Amino acid sequence: MEKRKYPSVKSDLYNGYVEVPAVIRKASGILINGKRFKAFMFTTDIALIMNNDADAIMAVYPFTPHPAILEAITSVSTIPVLAGIAGGKTQGVRSANMALFAEAHGCKAVVVNAPTPIATIEKINEVIDIPIILTVVSEYTSIDKRLKAGVDIINVSGAGRTSTIVRELREKYPDLPIIATGGPTEESILETIEAGANAITYTPPSNGELFSRKMMDYREKEKDRYEDD
């Protein structure tokens, strides 16, 4: 079937949003409760969360998960949120409570980091109905026990070995939903997709980088205006 063209509409003020690399759309996507996801924006920056074209936000951060942070993110996001709720230090009942809080605030899934104990995953699975995503950082992470405990989706974040880990997981688990970091280039993203990733997490430029680009543009316009005068 011939691929149909579709119209595009952009408002005057919203046309500066952060776009995910187009190559991500080559991924198959993951269907979560009826909605298809291919591109996840990895950020907790409120301004970036409000100005992007990703399918969802991957809200994971290197601090103890807190309801106030989650509430702030979900209150401004116009797209679904996947919320980080457990890891090396945040475990047990607190993680289960965070998971329930995330579900109550409309999150599409919760994310647990690699060190999360099996018992914590089981507690989380007992109290929520949304999927549990496990972040895998190396090929040495035990997958089978965590899948049995309630993990539904794997999120691979293995730096330079990401595509290799994805390929190994895909060979062992043909039907497992896999999200993965795509890396800095379209080539590395495509490599990860071809290795077997169903969806990609994209890390956008920082607020500082984006502001720097805008300031350069402003300076050029000021220069042109000065020369015209």
Q: What is the pLDDT of residue 88?
A: 80
Q: What is the pLDDT of residue 222?
A: 72
* Span between the terminal Cα atoms of the chain, in Å: 56
Class of domain 22-228: alpha beta
Q: Which two tokens stand for residue 174?
A: 């043909």
Q: What is the pLDDT of residue 228?
A: 67
Q: What is the pLDDT of residue 213?
A: 78
Q: What is the pLDDT of residue 220?
A: 76
What are the residue boundaries of the structural domains of the chain, listed by start? 22-228
Q: Could you tell me which residues come within 8 angstroms of residue 130 by beta carbon, excluding any fewer than 6 positions away?
A: 33, 102, 103, 107, 108, 109, 110
Spell out the per-residue pLDDT of the chain, length 229, in tens: 567 888 988 888 777 889 999 999 999 999 999 999 999 999 999 999 999 999 999 999 999 999 999 999 999 999 999 999 988 888 999 999 999 999 999 999 999 998 999 999 999 999 999 999 999 998 888 899 999 999 999 999 999 899 999 999 999 999 999 999 998 899 999 999 999 999 999 999 887 888 787 788 777 777 666 666 6
Separation between Cα atoms, residue 128 and residue 121, nearest integer Å: 11
* Amino acid identity at 127: V
The reported pTM is 0.90
DSSP calls for 79-135: S-EEEEEESSSS-HHHHHHHHHHHHHTT-SEEEE-TT--HHHHHHHHHH--S-EEEE
